[in-house]
Amino acid sequence: MAKLIGNAPNQVPTNADLGKMAFEDKVNVANLNATGTKDATTFLRGDNTFAEAGGGKVLQVVTATDSTERSTTSTSFVTGSNTLSVSITPSSASNKIFVAVSSSIYGSGTFSFFYTIFRDAVNIGASDGMQRLYTSLYVPMAMSILDSPNTTSATTYQVYMKSNGGTAALNWGNLKGTITAFEIAG
């Protein structure tokens, strides 16, 4: 099968010889005794079986944008009038939804301002959100989360915000914010 260049037969190769190896024969798939079906959608696994790639495939993508500045003085999470919201219907309850958000945020006053992602009426971020802003600053904001909604019903993902005093703003300066949901095969 493999023949070393520059060495006599049955001689153990030196480290210098290893870099000079040449292979004259190919392994034919028929000689592997692999199970499964070999085609364009399968690969040969380490256990000598052909299988499809499986999970991790992106099945659908839904995105929405909003360029209207939204604000609140609420101390509980609120939507900010339907800002940055998408609805996606998973094709299988075992699939996951990856949600990514980008926007600009601002808080007026010397308080804390909180931003998070809700699935329908459930905060899927931390109890105090996924982003926190202190004092009067304008900053770009990005959040993402991998969610397991365990449903095949239409599911809404939306950005919520709150303030512990002062005003929390999203899409500050009427800059465009984006939310994108990716359905990932389970």
Q: How confident is the model at residue 52 (pLDDT cuts 50, 70, 90)?
A: confident
pTM of the model: 0.71
Domains in the chain with CATH codes = 2-52 (no CATH), 58-184 (2.60.120.1340)
pLDDT digits (tens, 9 = 90+) for 54-111: 667 999 999 999 999 999 999 999 986 667 999 999 999 999 999 999 999 999 887 8
Q: What's the CA dihedral at 159, 72, 163, 66 to 10 degrees? A: 30
pLDDT digits (tens, 9 = 90+) for 96-143: 999 999 999 999 887 899 999 999 999 999 888 898 888 777 889 999
φ and ψ at residue 32, rounded to 5 degrees: -85, -20
CA–CA distances in Å: residue 74 to residues 124, 160, 161: 19, 11, 8
* β-strand partners of 42: 52
pLDDT of 56: 75
167 in Cβ contact with 137 (< 8 Å) = no
Region class of 31: left (phi > 0), else alpha (psi between -120 and 50), else beta: alpha
